[in-house]
Amino acid sequence: MGTREPAEPEAGAELAVWEFAGLLLTYWCNARCAFCYVNCGPDRGGEMRVETALALWQSLDRLAAAHGKTMRIHLSGGEPFQDWVRLVSIIRAAREAGLTLVDKAETNAFWATEDGVTRSRLELLDALGVRRLVVSTDVFHQEFVPPERVRRCVEIGRAVFGPGRVIVRWWDFLQNPVETRRLDSAERERAFRAALARHKDRLAGRAAEQLAPLLPSQPAEAFAGLHCAREVLQSRHVHIDPYGNIFPGTCAGIILGWAGQRAVADIWHELGAHWREHPVLAAVVAGGSYELLQRAKALGYEEWPGGYASKCHLCAHVRQFLFERGVWPEFIGPPECYATVV
Ligand code: SF4
Ligand code: SF4
């Protein structure tokens, strides 16, 4: 692949109204998928309290309504089904408060070990107004979650919700599952490469560390000018973690603002007016991760001699460096989104 033509940053790039919001209820996950663009796993924690979720939900609803829109909330993680009682308490509290219904509840189905429990949980979600169930499965998840649990969750889900309300990412992997944990390392690597060729994944978080080395790499210069205005300003999609950190929908670890004690609408207004003062946003909107690299070089970052597989791989590598050195802690964090430093 040759050097790409730099894209022109959108003239007068503006922050779009957030209309899709994922509440990351925890960073804990039974799995530790190589492709996890956050960095979730059994050693990660953080639990969003019911009151926190409710306050964020209200705040998000208000932001969308003030712009004549309806907020679409999805519940995610980590694995949001880790604490079933808390998940249900959050959904019930939102419903009783008259907030928007849950657009999607996401899971890897690790908990679907038995028909009766699976059915009763999904029936309760349906009764509480959850619109859609999203079940994740692919060669990466199949290293940790047996396909029969996914199949059980999907089949019972389709019976309870109706087929149109159950989304499987990805069907081809459910039809042809790979018992990844039974493969030796060479077979595992081949399976991962084949999966990456079938479905594009963002190479951030753990994927930057574990999957990027499987792909062809290029010098950082190849990503010059690939700005990220669309991803960080215009996508209309954010995630909020258990601590109230708001991230762009696809860029966990870049903190847009902290909603711990402030209304989301206030953060959105302030960011809209001042995003050029956000050191990471200003860089990636101006010139993508290559521009972030230039700014990090001034702080001691040295370009990785092996090159980078994508602009997000470059971004994740540079941000890991900045995180480890405590640069811009208000904008780069929390630790759960970055590789553990030992
Ligand atoms: S990709 Fe999903 S299932 Fe896998 S570790 Fe991350 S949160 Fe867990
Ligand atoms: S390069 Fe960085 S800011 Fe741009 S889309 Fe990728 S992770 Fe997000």
Give the start-to-end residue ranges of the domains of the chain: 20-215+236-273
Cα–Cα distance measured from residue 191 to residue 197, given in angstroms and rounded to the nearest whole number: 10
Q: How far is the CA of 200 from the CAs of 43, 107, 188, 220, 331, in angstroms? A: 27, 20, 18, 20, 27
Strand pairing report for 20-24 and 237-240: parallel
Q: Each residue of 198-212: pLDDT tens digit?
A: 877 688 899 998 999
204 C-alpha to center of ligand 1: Å? Answer: 13
Which ligand places an atom closest to the C-alpha of 312?
2
- Per-residue pLDDT band for 341 (boundaries 50, 70, 90) equals low
Amino acid letter, residue 273: A
206 C-alpha to center of ligand 2: Å? Answer: 14
What global pTM score does this model have?
0.94
- Per-residue pLDDT band for 254 (boundaries 50, 70, 90) equals very high
Q: Each residue of 105-163: pLDDT tens digit?
A: 999 999 999 999 999 999 999 999 999 999 999 999 999 999 999 999 999 999 999 99
Q: Which of 23, 108, 149, 192, when mutated, tests ligand 1's pocket best, judged by the most ligand atoms within 8 Å of its CB?
A: 108
**Which fold, 20-215+236-273?**
TIM Barrel (3.20.20)
Q: Give the pair of three-digit tokens for residue 9.
A: 């940053």
Q: Which of 38, 203, 250, when mutated, tests ligand 2's pocket best, judged by the most ligand atoms within 8 Å of its CB?
A: 250
DSSP strand E in the chain: where?
20-24, 72-76, 102-107, 132-136, 166-169, 237-240, 245-248, 257-258
Q: Which residues pair with 167 in a beta bridge?
A: 134
Q: For residue 318, give the H/E element and its range.
A: helix 311-324
Cα–Cα distance measured from residue 294 to residue 304, given in angstroms and rounded to the nearest whole number: 13
- Per-residue pLDDT band for 9 (boundaries 50, 70, 90) equals low
DSSP strand E in 150-236: where?
166-169
